[in-house]
Structures are given as C-alpha cells and as structure tokens.
A and B are shown apart, each in its own frame.
Chain A
Amino acid sequence: MKMLLSRILSIIPVLFGLCVLSFMLLAMIPGDPVTAMLGLDADPQAAAALRTKFALGQPLPIRFISWFGHLLTGDLGRSIQTGRPVLNMVLTALIPTMELGLVALIVSLLIAIPAGVISASKRNSIADYSVSLISLAGLSLPSFWLAILLILFLSIRLQIFPSSGYVPFLEDPVAAIQHIALPGITLGVAMAAATMRMTRAAMLDVLNTDYIRTARAKGLPRRGVIWRHALRNALIPVTTLVGLQLGQLMGGVVVTETVFAWPGIGKLTVDAIFARDFPVVQGAILASAVLFVVINLITDLLYATLDPRLRRRL
C-alpha cells in the first residue's frame, strides 16, 4: 500500500514539470508573442487586451504563478480564435481520440498476440522469420504513408470505407465503425509491430520454463499448453508495453487524425498551431502529456495487479 501511494505521489513532480514546460512553450516564442499570435497588422486594442490577459508586462515567474493558479482551478484560458474555454475544447476532443485509441488497441492486439504466439511456438520456421520481418517492417512504416495507402486502396479504389470524417457511435453505430476503421487500422498496425516482438520474446521465455515442460510431460495438448498456460504469463510484460504504447499513441494520433480529419486532440493541436491559438496549443499539449503520464501510472499499477509477486509488495 505504501509503495502504491509512493508511486502515485511520484507523478506529482512530473506533472508540475509538465506544467512548467507547457507554460514555457508560450514564453519560448521569439520576439513579441502577441504579434506572433495576432500578426503584424493586428488591431492595437486587441493586441493590448491580449498583452494584459497574458500579463506579458510581468516577470516570467509572476506570469507562471498566475497561469498555474488558474490551471489549478481548471481554467486553461480561452481560445483566441473562438473564445471558447480551452478545457471544454480539450475535453470535447478527447472523446474521439479515446475512441480511436480503443479501436487501435483492439486492432493491434488482434494482429500482434496470435502472430507473436505462432512465431514463438514455431521458432526458426518460415512463420517465425515472416513475423520477425513483418514486425520490423511495421516499426519502420511511417503511419501517415500507411494512412495514404489505405485511403488509396480501401477508400478510393474499393470504396469500402470513407476516407475522412467522424460520426459519434451513439448517433449511427454502423457509420461510426465505417469512419473509424481506416484511422483505427493505421494506428493499430503501428502499435502491433512492437507488441508482436514483445509477445514473441515473452512467449519464448515462458516456453523454456519448468512448469511448461511439466505440463507437456503430463501429456497436456500442445495447443492448450501454449494458449492457456504459457500465454497467460507471457502477457504480463506485454501489458506493460501495450500501456506504454497507449501513452505513445497520444503522439501518433496527431498525424493520423490530421490525415483522416478526425476531430480529436491531435487535430485540435495542429489546427491551433496553424491558427496561432497558443492557449489551445498549450492546453492540448498539456492535456495529452498528463494523459500520457496517467496511462503510464495505470500501466504500472495494472502490472503489479497481474504479477502476484509485485502484488504482495504492494
């Protein structure tokens, strides 16, 4: 319990560091940030209002304390473009991103687990070499290229899936699945490559342990030993990797969401950058980073729950 608490408390300095770094993004803008946001021909009154709003006349530490104080009350500021609260915009964008992340996770596990298990159980066979080669190719595949190729074949040529857009699941489930298919496959394939490698390595470790040898010696069917006994233990390190990848997904969604016009946090960030809407950029990046840290924390805790040795320590 003490360890659990200390693990949870350990993210507090990291979260504070994230806040400092996110704040510094605005401070890093060379020259006058207001000119950078509104342009050279900005209305002087609007420029002055923005300068007051961001307290640009104040020293940096004072500005940070003021910004951080607002942040603690859930106030991430307002969008320069739309005037909407940044927190609302970020929370609205998080829903499609989380839907996409879930579908990508399902796609990646459906590809990676069977491929990794088959590769390990048939070591040094053609299947094993093929899986190794495919996983290495998957790791080297730029996701936006895969996205373009999927649009080309499955959307333009075969017209199976729409090439862009988002439909909420509760509004029209069939259309929602059609729209999420291509971005989900794009992200899922990117995640599957590393998971495939990890599943193979973990399975090889487990298949060499005494209890598997005992199970085989007892005459249990090979398939049952692999899928029921070995896979269960091999999945423990895989869970950690999948958790870390879910966090990394927050980065991957930026490009995928842009290609497929998916209205998630990634697209929100890119659109805000081009609109020079820095409060939104700041808020979206901070929210993604916080989510990344929280997912990593949950992964650690899940890992401890799955592994009885660690559970005892907790």
Chain B
Amino acid sequence: MSSAAASPSLLRRLIEDSRSAMGMALVAILVAAAIFGPMLSPYGPDTADFLATLAPPSSAHLLGTDDLGRDVLSRILAGARVSLLVAVASVGCALVVGVPIGLVAGYRGKRTDAVLMRCMDVLLAFPGILLALGIAAALGASLVNTIIAIAVINTPTIARVARAQAMLVSRLDYVKANRALGFGDMTIMLRCVLPNTLSPVLVQASLMLASSIITESYLSFLGLGVQPPTPTWGNMLKDAISFIDQATWLAWFPGAAIFLTVLGFNLFGDGLRDRLDPRD
C-alpha cells in the first residue's frame, strides 16, 4: 500500500497504461491552463469589445466572443484556474478534516467510532449538491463559501475511507507490537496507522477532484457559486442559455472544458486505483 505509493515506478506504470496516461495528459493541460492561462490568453477575461459581440470562432477570437464581446478562450483559461483552485482547496480541506476523523474513529473504535461515524452518516444522508446549495444559500455565494460547501460534502466520504483502512491496519501485528512496547496512541496513529491509510484515501481524493469540479460548475451555473465577473465554466454556460439559438459556441466550449477535465480526473483516478489499491 504505502510501499506502492512510495514506489518510484508508480508514475511510469501510470504512463504505461493508456487510459491513465490520457487522464494525466488532460489533467496536465488543465494545470498548464490554470498556471500559464494569463500568459496564454490573447485578451483579458473581462475585456469587453462591443464591436465584436457574439462573434463566431475566427482567427481573431479562436473560440468566439460572448454577448459583451469578451473572448471565450481567455475566459475558459481563466475559468480553469477557478475550477482547479476550488477542486484542490475543497478536497484539501476535506482531507485535513476527514482523515483525522476517520483515523481516530477507526483506531479507537467503540463509542468514539459510533459517535463520529453517525455524524458523518448524517452528512452522507444529504444528496451532495443539495447540501452544498443549502450551505451556499446560508453563507452566501462566493469563492470561499463554494470551497467550504464542497469540502463539507466531501469530508464524510474521506472519513469513511480513512476509517475503514485505519480499522484494518489497527488490527495488524506491528501495531499491536508498538502498543506492547508502550508507545502512546497518538504516536501509533501518526507513525504506524496514518501512512498505511493514505493509499485508498488518495485514490478517493483524486476521484473527488472530478466530482468537485462538477459540483462547482453546478453551483456557478445556478448562480450560487463563484460570482461574476470572475469567469467560471459554470457561469459561462449559464450565460450561454440566453443566446443558445444565436451563438452555439458559447455552450460548446465551456461544457467541453468541464467534460474533458472531469474525464481526465476520472481516468487518472481509475488508473491510480488500479495501481495503488489492486483489491478494488
């Protein structure tokens, strides 16, 4: 498990598998777009050109312009940054909160496990997007609140995966041996249990990046995520509906960006699962 994670050949094995290689390529494009987007963008994402409104794709505007004459390509590149930021930050927060909960529940068991997991069950009992909507509605629509909402819906799944693995590892002989040697619970959890719970958690986290990007786009599409003028793929699609019969490119390209990005993370996550968690 952890040895597989630490294996230097993991990356090579992922690249050798055509599906995960394709996933990694798509993810790499997203990361490049997010990092180098401002340098690659031919125009500013909010730069309006009222002489070129709803212009179809051309050499001047490769993916066309929207109703305010803003360059669609530049906005998609800027949207990549928002999508990646929300996905990474929300999954990161879920890991920071969920892993300790799962670790403690799985290691301590009994009442601690029952209390912590019932709390997680309540969160899991809500359909994810509805809970995110409720949180976004209560806290208000913004980038930070979008991250919080998505982190809250991701946390119970991370905690469940970490708990299952922690329960398994806690029963192994080397953990019992450490206990017999007099090491404290905290030391055993951090040094012995945690490193061996990480592989399935990381696989789950990689798949969650995909679902987080979709949830962010849902929230933005509904007007409850990141607010305009910050461009996101979701709010670009929301705007596209009004001009669907005149400017189809406004719907095609942001949607394709979400689809390819999510496909990339799903392919990568599937590949990672096959390599790190072959029992699945």
Contact = CB atoms under 8 A, between A and B. Distances in A.
Interface of A: 13-14, 17-18, 20-22, 25-26, 28-30, 136-137, 139-142, 144-145, 148-149, 151-152, 156, 247-248, 250-252, 254-255, 258-259, 269-270, 273-274, 278, 281, 285, 288-289, 292-293
Contact of A148 (B127, B129, B214, B255): B255
Interface of B: 118-119, 121-123, 125-131, 133-140, 210, 214, 217-218, 221-224, 237, 240-241, 244-245, 248, 251, 255, 258-259, 262-263, 266-267, 270
A224 B127 CA distance: 39
Given A144-B218, A144-B221, A145-B251, A254 B133 contact: yes
B119 A17 contact: yes
Contacts, number: 125
A156 B242 CA distance: 13
B127 A251 contact: yes
B266 A289 contact: no
Given A17-B119, A148-B241, A273-B137, 12 more contacts: A14-B121, A17-B118, A25-B137, A142-B258, A248-B127, A248-B128, A254-B129, A254-B218, A273-B133, A274-B223, A285-B131, A292-B125
A65 to B, nearest CB: 19
21 contacts: A13-B118, A14-B121, A17-B119, A17-B122, A21-B126, A21-B131, A25-B134, A25-B135, A28-B139, A29-B139, A137-B263, A140-B210, A140-B262, A145-B251, A148-B237, A148-B244, A152-B251, A156-B245, A251-B127, A289-B125, A292-B126
Given A142-B255, A144-B221, A292-B125, A285 B134 contact: yes
A85 B89 CA distance: 39
A289 B237 contact: no
Nearest to A145: B255
Contacts of B241: 148, 259
Q: Is the interface of A mostly helix, strand, loop or mixed?
A: helix
Among B127, B131, B210, the most chain A Cβ lie within 10 Å of the Cβ of B127
Given A140-B210, A144-B218, A148-B241, A251 B128 contact: yes
B225 to A, nearest CB: 12
A258 B135 CA distance: 19
Nearest to A14: B125
Contacts of B123: 21
A270 B133 contact: yes
Nearest to B128: A251
Contact of A251 (B129, B138, B270): B129
B259 A14 contact: no
A248 B121 CA distance: 15
A119 to B, nearest CB: 16
Nearest to A28: B138
A166 B183 CA distance: 65
A142 B217 contact: yes
Contacts of B118: 13-14, 17
Given A144-B221, A255-B221, A136 B263 contact: yes
A165 to B, nearest CB: 15
A293 B126 CA distance: 8
